[in-house]
Amino acid sequence: MPYLFDTILISFGGIFSFIWVIGASLSQNRKLQPPAVFILMTSGFRLCFEAAYFSGFMSENPIIYGISVPVLYSIGPSIYLFFCKFNSGSNDQIPLPVYFIPLFLSLTVLPFWFVLSEKEQLMLIFRIFHLQPNAREFIDWLFLFWVIGPKFLILFFSNLSAILILNELRYFSKNMKRDLKFFLFSFLTFLHIMILADIYGYLFSDLWIIRICAWSHSISVIIVYFFGTYQPKAILEFEISFEKRKYERSKIDNVDVDKIIANIEKCMMEEHFYADEDLRLIDLADACGISVHQLSEVLNQKMNTSFTDFVNKYRIKAAKDMLVNDLNRPILSIAMAVGFNSKSSFNRIFKKMTNLTPSEFQKQKLE
């Protein structure tokens, strides 16, 4: 019997994950890291997979249920690989395919799934959700552990990731604001509880728990997105704290500073990074192929400026050109075009750097 509420809520979270990835991919300066993209894509797939079951789609197409399971085995390793980049002492020599051995092993089950009749496939799926543990046969247990294997992997690799970046977590926790610390650790605790509850629900055929965990997965994706959207400073603090810890021992003496400066100026002058009102230190660092710490050192020690002043210098320079060469363009439009989010902040920064308001500057140039 289809569960309408479950289908709508869970499928919304799945589709939302895909839209998030597409939007980030189209953004010029706020692209997601490849492992993060993969995690979101597989999470979206998992949510759509669960929505398909609750909608009754799997009852009509049980073969798709089995085909979908191996894809979920990639989520756990992807989480670990994503957090590997935050480990300042990592020297991981393990080949990438090793992490996906469970995925390759899960694929070996598919030939057995394909030889089953549609009725037999439906029966196995039904027995997972409705048969009590003491009534299960050996084949039921085998199928059950194949289905919930990805959940164990997510739990394992999530905890392995925490161990991997333990020093970074300690450093970050000390330098993190209380409200962000509360949100982060509460959210991670909640996710762990939901994963354990989900496993329990499958082991003991508790459909209510399975449904609630599926809801929580969908809602979690939305919470993370909106937290990052409406609290960008908190997310920036998270990224920079990890990056500073990772690169705190790095020295710009070992890199070509002139080349870095040339890349920074290219991003500003040719690619107009300054026009992005949400431009972050980490965005510019990624574009230049260096760490946040290295970029800060170059700006502060070699160029004698802060990131904010550096960006504003290019914004005001571009605004000056527009004020002189595009006389009919409204000042607000110019402010938005060069990366300011309000006319008042544009006027304030413009006067600070030129001792004139934009209108005064334009009038002076016309005289």
DSSP string, 249-284: T--GGGS-HHHHHHHHHHHHHTS-GGG-TT--HHHH
Q: What is the pLDDT along the chain (367 residues), one digit of tens a residue?
A: 568 899 999 999 999 988 888 877 776 555 566 656 777 888 888 899 889 888 888 888 899 999 989 988 988 888 888 777 655 444 456 777 888 999 999 999 999 999 999 999 999 998 988 888 888 999 999 999 999 999 999 889 888 877 766 665 666 666 566 766 777 778 778 888 999 999 999 999 998 999 999 999 899 888 888 776 766 555 555 555 555 555 555 455 667 888 889 999 999 988 899 998 888 888 888 888 888 878 888 888 788 888 889 999 999 999 999 998 888 889 999 999 999 988 898 999 999 999 999 999 988 887 6
Global pTM reads 0.62
The Cβ-side half-sphere exposure at 111, using a 13 Å CA radius, reads 3
- Distance (Å, rounded) from C-alpha 309 to C-alpha 305? 6
**In the prediction, which pLDDT does 304 show?**
86
Q: Which of 172, 161, 169, 122 is nearest to 143 (CA)?
A: 122
Q: Which amino acid is at 339?
A: G
DSSP secondary structure letter of residue 61: -
Q: 247 with 291: CB under 8 angstroms?
A: yes
Q: 331 with 338: CB under 8 angstroms?
A: no
Q: Which of 104, 84, 105 is nearest to 93 (CA)?
A: 84
DSSP secondary structure letter of residue 300: I
**In the prediction, which pLDDT does 315 show?**
94
**In the prediction, which pLDDT does 91 show?**
46
- Output the DSSP codes for 122-185: HHHHHHHHH--GGG--HHHHHHHHHHHHHHHHHHHHHHHHHHHTHHHHHHHHHTS-HHHHHHHH
- Distance (Å, rounded) from C-alpha 125 to C-alpha 54? 12
Q: 264 with 302: CB under 8 angstroms?
A: no
Torsion of CA 24, 30, 35, 38, to 10 degrees: 0
173-198: buried (b, 16+ CB within 10 Å) or exposed (e) per residue?
Answer: eeebeeebeebbeeeeeebeebbebb
**In the prediction, which pLDDT does 177 show?**
66
DSSP secondary structure letter of residue 332: H
| Per-state percent for the chain, helix, strand, coil, to nearest 5 | 80, 0, 20
Residue 34, number of CB atoms within 10 A of its CB: 11
Number of alpha helices (DSSP H) and beta strands (DSSP E) in the chain: 21, 0
Q: 10 with 54: CB under 8 angstroms?
A: yes
**In the prediction, which pLDDT does 238 show?**
55
